[in-house]
Structure formats: C-alpha cells, structure tokens
Chains A and B, each alone.
Chain A
Amino acid sequence: ILNVEQSPQSLHVQEGDSTNFTCSFPSSNFYALHWYRWETAKSPEALFVMTLNGDEKKKGRISATLNTKEGYSYLYIKGSQPEDSATYLCAPAAGYQKVTFGTGTKLQVIP
C-alpha cells in the first residue's frame, strides 16, 4: 500500500481567490498520478491522470503539475468559485499496484 499524503486537510478561501494544495507520494516505481474531485452527495469525478515528470494538465481554471523525482503533485485553482467546493483526492499508482487514494483536501469557497 502506497503512503499518500495530502495537505492541507481542509481550507476555506474567498470567492475569487486562487489556491493550491499538495499531494506527496513515494517516488520509487512511480507509474501514474490521478486527481479526482468529489462533491458532497455525489461520486468522485476524474480531473487528470498524469504519467510524465514535469507534466502539466489544465481543465478550465484547474491545473496540476507533477514531479515524479521528488514525489509530489500540486493542484491549482485560479479564481475559486463556490462550485469548486469539494474534496480533491489524489491517487498515485506505482509498480504493479493499483491506484491508492489519499484522504483528500476539502475545499470550501466562501461567496
């Protein structure tokens, strides 16, 4: 089982603020890194899957970067909106193992 750490556990930001959070994972035998958004009372929704060191993905106001050598990924949200309120999960995969989900960062955007 991979050791996945996400920080912070939760945060509150004002509407319009930009924010970012971190996912740390073991760098050895890295294969892929997933990000998911999980809104309350809904199911997790895939945002990105990244595999290459230095990869950067973007979807609207949300972007993510990946550093496989040091074992971390950042998720950025530009100009946060109330609809961005959700728990953001990262899930790395290494070696021949399935993805392992972190406990998530819970974001609340205050109007």
Chain B
Amino acid sequence: GAVVSQHPSWVICKSGTSVKIECRSLDFQATTMFWYRQFPKQSLMLMATSNEGSKATYEQGVEKDKFLINHASLTLSTLTVTSAHPEDSSFYICSAREDNYGYTFGSGTRLTVV
C-alpha cells in the first residue's frame, strides 16, 4: 500500500526559532501533498496544498510567510514553521494520494513551542 513518511514525530523548540517538517511518499510519486493542523480534540484543518514544482495553495487565514512549504520533488514536501510561537503548538499532519488508494497520512509531528 501507499506509505507516507513524516519526520520528526515530535519537536520541542524555543519561541522565535524555525522548525522544518518533512513529508515523503515512499513508494509512489505525489504531485500534490496536503498539510493539516489538528488541535486537541478537534478535526483536521487543511492548511495548504503543496504542489510539486510550483507554489503552494494556502487556505484562508493561514499565513504563507509563516508556514513555508516547499515541494521540490515528486516524493518530498517540507513545511517550515518560521518564528514559532506557543500558539503554533499543534499536531501537524501531511497526506498524499496514490491513484489506487485513498489519501494516506504521515504519522504526524507534534510541535511544542516553549
């Protein structure tokens, strides 16, 4: 089946620093990947659609200069949270869709900004 690998699983960083999260499709090519954020006991909220070789499409209310997305290859998308603040602490999840399967999620990254 389709496998999406996400790293790191968790990260604790100081306020004001930047954090990079990687999302890789291991056994398929993904021209499009999706980044979600999930706060405790809430649903997954789409942040942006990452498009290989072009700019990401951000959802309304998501700051593109704060959440930098790079989709440099057909198997890798990265999300960089710049100048992180405590309110950015959340569970970040990527997903990708392979033709024969539903949308597969990465294992998620729990970000804690202290």
Please indicate whether A and B come from the same complex rather than being unrelated chains. no
Q: Which residues on B are within 8 Å of A, measured CB to CB? A: none
Q: Which residues on A are within 8 Å of B, measured CB to CB? A: none
